[in-house]
């Protein structure tokens, strides 16, 4: 079945937040996102490791709000979040490029080297842009790239207030859908402009990691832009 484009009268933007969200990946970031999203929307959870997914699902005790599925079924959700390492996310998008056409895909990966000391991509591109190139008919939005897994597990750890999540994307309606869907979560979500701005966000994250390690706060660290109105 053809998905409606985001400019059609009955598109997802007119419905506000997404009715369902799929999270692909059962690692720490995927588990953290599922636990935050489940109280607010129906979540489909997919993983290449069904045994680990079952263990994580039992540990979260989310009941009927989270439904484990195989990867293909997860692609039917309104928003698909790829909680995968960058190379794995690109491979996933390449494998399912046709089925992802018209789908809002959220990329949370950073293109770190295995030792977390640098980047596997040049500064002229980003993980989000590479993902968009792998699935050119999808609507790719970058989010949670500047959020460490431990902050997903305990978002209220900062006395200064909720940390910022910088959201990038080239399709305005897709970005608005993601912002509306994530709004109930305990973060401050900021529209960070076009997808190319992910280049800066991804490098901010590695800098934040370095600073936090130097000051002894890693991985309990986050970014917050001062002087911006909002909660």
Q: Residue 45: helix, strand or coil by DSSP?
A: strand
Q: Residue 69: what are its φ and ψ, rounded to 5°?
A: -145, 165
**At residue 32, does pLDDT exceed 50?**
yes
17-215: which CATH number, 3.30.390.10, 3.40.50.10490, 3.40.50.300, 3.40.50.720? Answer: 3.40.50.720
- Whether pLDDT at 74 is above 80: yes
- Would you state the structure tokens that stand for residue 188, as one six-digit string? 């401050």
- Name the packing angle between helices 198-215 and 127-134 (round to 10°): 140
Q: What is the pLDDT of residues 46-70, one digit of tens each?
A: 998 888 898 888 888 766 689 998 8
pLDDT at 3 over 70: no
- Looking at every residue in the chain, the average pLDDT score rounds to 90
Please compute the mean of the pLDDT values over residues 78-98 and round it to a whole number: 97
Instruction: Write down the pTM of the prediction.
Output: 0.91
Are 196 and 129 in contact, with CB atoms under 8 Å apart? yes
Tell me what pLDDT residue 7 has.
35
Q: How many CB atoms lie within 10 A of CB 30?
A: 24
What mean pLDDT comes out for the span 2-15? 38
Q: Once rounded to an integer, what is the mean pLDDT over residues 152-167?
A: 94
Q: What is the pLDDT of residue 127?
A: 98
Would the pLDDT of 12 be above 70?
A: no
pLDDT at residue 9 greater than cutoff 50 = no
What are the residue ranges spanned by the domains of the chain?
Answer: 17-215
**47, 73 contact by CB (below 8 A):** no
């Amino acid at each position: 079945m053809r998905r409606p484009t985001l400019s059609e009268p009955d598109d997802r933007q007119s419905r506000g937040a997404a009715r369902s969200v799929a999270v692909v990946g059962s690692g720490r970031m995927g588990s953290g996102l599922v636990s935050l999203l489940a109280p607010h929307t129906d979540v489909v959870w997919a993983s290449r490791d069904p045994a680990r997914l079952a263990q994580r699902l039992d540990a979260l005790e989310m009941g009927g709000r989270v439904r484990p599925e195989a990867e293909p079924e997860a692609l039917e959700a309104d928003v698909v979040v790829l909680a995968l390492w960058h190379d794995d996310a690109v491979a996933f998008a390449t494998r399912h490029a046709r089925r992802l056409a018209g789908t809002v895909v959220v990329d949370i990966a950073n293109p770190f080297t295995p030792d977390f000391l640098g980047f596997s991509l040049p500064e002229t591109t980003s993980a989000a842009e590479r993902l968009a190139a792998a699935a050119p008919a999808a609507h790719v939005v970058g989010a949670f790239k500047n959020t460490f897994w431990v902050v997903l597990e305990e978002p209220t750890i900062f006395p200064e207030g909720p940390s910022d999540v910088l959201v990038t994307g080239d399709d305005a309606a897709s970005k608005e859908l993601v912002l509306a869907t994530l709004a109930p979560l305990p973060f401050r979500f900021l529209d960070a402009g076009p997808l190319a701005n992910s280049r800066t966000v991804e490098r901010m994250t590695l800098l934040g990691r370095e600073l936090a390690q130097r000051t002894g706060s890693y991985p309990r660290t986050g970014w917050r832009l001062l002087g911006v109105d909002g909660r």
